[in-house]
Structure 1
């Protein structure tokens, strides 16, 4: 199975939509409870493109198996060199190292794009994501307790950061 990491195109949006909506419906990786439609993902894609932010996909034999992107951490000029990222893997491809491959490529893109800090906001119970980020050099900066809700319970948010330069 040859893996290709590449920039997303509009043709990838249906697969990105399916991955996103699975995370919404089945996980606490996204604290949204409402499924989105293709127009929502098109608007997200267009905004990322307009701002010059990358959207990378993991393409395995023509199938999108995951994606990663970053965008504004906070929408104020003083934060322009800091970004918050997201990485999602299609459920049938969990545990194959795609998250790490996508994150490694995204980190390189951030370095070449003049980003100084990448911020990760991770549901505190997502030990796999926390371990992935730790393995990539992210450091724990704190946990916000009971700042969100999903599936009828309070969620804690672990904050991690990676200084790039």
Structure 2
């Protein structure tokens, strides 16, 4: 089977919700504490797409195995050339290159759309994600200590960034 990275559609939303909810319930990849809903993700996707921001899925044999997007880094005009991204991969498919393919597609899209910097906010203990980003040239930009709490423990947020355009 071939992995295809493509724009998400409404049909993909149940899979996106399932992947995200698994991450919410079982990982520190996202610091939400409550599962999301189909309506919430639909609104999120529509908002991203209305702003010209991508919502991509990794399709393997007709099944969504991951999704990714980027959005505004901060909501003020001065930040319009900087974006922050997120990538989520189905639990049973992690470590198989899906996150790598999604990140490559996000970087390509951001460069094509004139973005200058892409930011990643990662749980400082998520070594797999940190290694993935380092492989694409992301560099550590700062650490915020104990700014999040999940599963009864304090979490540090590591910011990584990659310059996209001259």
When normalised by structure 1's length, the TM-score is 0.99
Residue of structure 1 equivalent to 2:75: 75
Deviation sequence 1:3-27 (CA, Å, 0-9, x none): 1110111110000000010110000
- Secondary structure of 2:30's counterpart equals coil
1:37-67 per-residue CA deviation (whole Å, 9 max, x = no partner) reads: 1000000011001111001110001100001
Aligned to 1:25: 25
CA RMSD of aligned residues (A): 0.5
- Secondary structure of the structure 1 residue equivalent to 2:75: coil
**Over residues 51-103 of structure 1, what are the superposed CA-to-partner deviations in whole Å (9 max), with x where a residue is unaligned?**
11001110001100001100011000000000000001001111101100110
Could you say what secondary structure the match of 1:30 adopts? coil
Distance 1:98 1:4 in 2: 10
Partner residue, 1:87: 87
Aligned residue pairs, count = 165
Give the aligned partner of residue 158 of structure 2. Answer: 158
Gaps of 5+ in 1: none
What displacement does 1:36 show? Answer: 1.0
Which residue of structure 1 lines up, in the alignment, with residue 96 of structure 2? 96
SS in 1 for 2:14: helix
Partner of 1:119: 119
Q: Is it true that 1:136 corresponds to 2:140 in the alignment?
A: no
Q: Deviations over 1:115-159 (max 9, x none)?
A: 100000000000000000000000011111000100110000001
Paired residue secondary structure (1:33):
coil
Partner of 1:106: 106
